[in-house]
């Protein structure tokens, strides 16, 4: 039966922009303070993508951050704290909470894809599989959309690894979850990624401003 209260939810996973705790690979080239500023810009632009996708898919948007912070105040989006544990435990807790509240599907999006097309997220939300993943060029994934979860769906996954996507798909299949892949995209992890983003003219508003300050 149709339930008008059931709607998708897009969850931005964005760490507090604390120097030395975010974008450490970028910090090697630009320093911890500028890397943290870039992280905040990436998150704000990715949030803009989520809002566009939400408008197209009739979804709502949340931000889940790792520690208490005022960095995401004033955005008119609910901000929640992530659960304890590794990335898999934190994602599973967020997905379980959203699905238990009646939001379906629930989609978690990383904060490292500020130029991601909103249509890619709409695609993931529209998939019929119990779990749909948006592959990233580095072997991970920029988003995961779920209609059902399992306590062991992230068991044995090697995070920040070239096999993260394959590990996740294998763990989900072992749990009996059906999986699909959506459109591929790229994360911004190191300085070479930033240079390519700028050269391609794909830096969105906040990222563009942060890069102007960084390169001045």
Please report the pLDDT score of residue 45 as a whole number.
Answer: 96
Tell me which residue has tokens 């072992």.
Answer: 174
Q: How many structural domains does the chain have?
A: 1
Is the full-model pTM beyond 0.85?
yes
Does residue 56 lie in a domain region? yes
pLDDT for 4 = 47
Residue 154: per-residue pLDDT:
98
Please give the Cα distance from 130 to 66 (Å, whole number): 26
pLDDT at 197: 84
Domain-embedded: residue 103: yes
Q: H helices within 101-204, ranges in order?
A: 118-126, 164-174, 191-199
pLDDT of the chain, 216 residues: tens digit per residue: 334 457 999 999 999 999 999 999 899 989 999 999 999 999 999 999 999 999 999 999 999 999 999 999 999 999 999 999 999 999 999 999 999 999 899 999 999 999 999 999 999 999 999 999 999 999 999 999 999 999 999 999 999 899 999 999 999 999 999 999 999 999 888 888 888 888 877 778 998 888 888 776
Strands 9-13 and 60-65: parallel
119 part of a folded domain: yes
| Residue 205 domain flag | yes
Position 5 scores a pLDDT of 57
Helices (H), 101-163: 118-126
- Specify if 4 maps to a domain: no
> Is 208 within the bounds of a domain?
yes
CA distances from 93 to 30, 96, 210 (A): 34, 5, 32
- What pLDDT, on the 0 to 100 scale, is given for residue 216? 65
Q: Note the pLDDT of residue 189.
A: 85
Q: What is the CATH number of the domain that holds 57?
A: 3.90.550.10
Q: Is residue 3 part of a domain?
A: no
Q: What distance in Å separates the CA atoms of residue 85 and residue 203, rounded to the nearest whole number? A: 32
Find the domain containing 189 and state its range: 9-215
1, part of any domain: no
Distance (Å, whole) CA 4 – CA 196 = 43
């Amino acid at each position: 039966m149709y339930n008008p209260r059931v709607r998708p939810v897009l969850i931005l996973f964005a760490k507090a922009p604390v120097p030395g705790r975010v974008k450490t690979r970028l910090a090697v080239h630009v320093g911890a303070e500028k890397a943290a500023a870039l992280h905040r810009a990436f998150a704000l632009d990715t949030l803009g993508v989520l809002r566009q996708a939400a408008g197209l898919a009739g979804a709502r948007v949340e931000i889940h951050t790792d520690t208490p912070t005022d960095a995401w105040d004033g955005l008119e989006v609910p901000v929640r704290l992530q659960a304890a544990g590794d990335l898999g435990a934190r994602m599973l807790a967020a997905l379980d909470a959203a699905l238990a509240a009646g939001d379906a599907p629930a989609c978690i999006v990383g904060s490292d894809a500020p130029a991601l097309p909103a249509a890619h997220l709409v695609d993931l939300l529209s998939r019929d599989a119990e779990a749909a993943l948006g592959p990233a060029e580095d072997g991970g994934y920029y988003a995961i959309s779920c209609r059902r979860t399992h306590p062991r769906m992230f068991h044995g996954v090697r995070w920040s690894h070239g096999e993260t996507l394959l590990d996740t798909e294998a763990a989900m299949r072992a749990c009996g979850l059906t999986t699909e892949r959506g459109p591929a995209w790229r994360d911004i992890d190191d300085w070479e990624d930033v240079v390519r983003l700028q050269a391609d003219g794909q830096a969105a508003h906040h990222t563009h401003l942060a890069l102007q300050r960084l390169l001045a």
